[in-house]
Amino acid sequence: MAGTIVSRTPHFALHRLPLDAPPAESPAGPGSFGSPAPFAVQDAWIGALVPKRWARRAVTRNAIKRQIYTVSAALTPPLPPAAHVVRLRTAFDRQQFVSATSEPLKQAVRGELQELFARALR
C-alpha cells in the first residue's frame, strides 16, 4: 500500500509500487541475515485486497479475488513490471446483488475491473 494509486473506479483502487528499489543492506551484528529482495524477478506482480468490511461473505470475497486474478491475467498489453494491489474500496449494494455469487455481481465486478485496468494502462 506504500505505492501510488494509479487508477480508481467506484469500488476499486489500483496501487502500484515500482520494483526498482535497491535491496536492503544487511544489518551488522552476529546472527543477522540480510533480507533478500521481495521481488527478485522483474515482472508484473498482482495482489488482491478484499476486506471483510466491504464483502461480508467469504464466498463473495473469494469470487471477487478470482475475478481480479482472471481479469489481470487476460490483459493485453500486460501491466508494467511492478507490484500491483487491487483494493476493494467500498461494498457492492446487497439490495441490488442479493446472492453472494450471482451472475450479475460477477459481471459488474468484471466490468469495473476491466475499466480499472484500462485506466491504469493509459
More confident residue, 103 or 42: 103
Tell me if 54 sits within 8 A of 97, measured CB to CB.
no
pLDDT of residue 23: 47
Amino acid 27: pLDDT: 52
33-84 pLDDT tens trace: 555 556 667 788 999 999 999 999 999 999 999 999 999 999 988 898 899 9
User: What integer best gives the mean pLDDT of the chain?
Assistant: 86
User: What DSSP letter does each residue of 16-37 carry, written as one string?
Assistant: EEES-PPPPPPPPSTT--PPPP
Residues of 98-109 as b/e, b for ≥16 C-beta within 10 angstroms? eebeeeebeebb
Residue spans of alpha helices (H) in the chain: 58-73, 103-121
**What is residue 18's predicted lDDT score, i.e. its pLDDT?**
87
Domains of the chain: 4-18+49-121 (3.30.230.10)
Q: How far apart are CA 55 and CA 100, in angstroms?
A: 9
